[in-house]
Amino acid sequence: MSNLKEKFSGHGCDCSITQVADVRLPSRFGEFKLVAFESEAGEELIACIKGDIFGVHSVATRVHSECFTGDVLGSLRCDCRDQLEEALSYIGKSKCGVVLYLPQEGRGIGLFNKLRAYALQDEGLDTVEANIALGFPDDLRKYDLAAAMLCCLGVSSVKLLTNNPKKIEGLRDCGVVVDGILPLRIPPNEHNASYLATKRKKSGHML
């Protein structure tokens, strides 16, 4: 296990992360390696890696914000778990790739506030309106830690698995070279159709 500590600075980003674990992960999506990092603030960051990505260009990359309700409980209110599994399946069949799993629950507002936002949505607000009603912007996520992880892992450039243009812009602002995108378009269900429509209309997602 490496004790690498990396200081990443560039394009307004300035953060340190420390590698704390490196372990093999056989999974139903393929053979991966997990590399764990810790931020200066104590945040736990995971890179799920397929193959050799060091020095590679156009690495298939998913930057995924944790979603307890979706990723763990299988909630049908969002498409988070579907996107994560689609990304893992795609990367598992590829020569190489990486999923970065970041502690940014509820687009950065945290799990409890996300549940409060759900309650407001049940009263008729959409996802953007609910966040604003709670005193938050639509999206609080940052991508400096993701950029630092990619830097530590030696990724030269990425092909991003995303529908979110703000994620592309955010990573580029942090110095990540984004060569292109691979859309993750999940068919809607009766519980998330309005959620996906709001992401498309108000947040600019390419759905």
Distance CA 94, CA 75 (A): 28
- Could you say which of 77, 141, 172, 185 is catalytic? 141
Distance CA 194, CA 61 (A): 27
- Annotated active-site residue 144? The verdict is no
Integer CA distances (angstroms), 164 to 2, 35, 52, 202, in order: 33, 25, 26, 12
- Could you say which of 71, 79, 82, 139 is catalytic? 139
Distance CA 88, CA 50 (A): 9
- Judge whether 186 and 79 are in contact, CB under 8 Å: yes
Helix, strand and coil content of the chain, in percent to the nearest 5, comes to 35, 30, 40
Distance CA 62, CA 80 (A): 12
- Annotated active-site residue 139? The verdict is yes
Distance CA 6, CA 199 (A): 34
Which residues are marked as active site? 139, 141
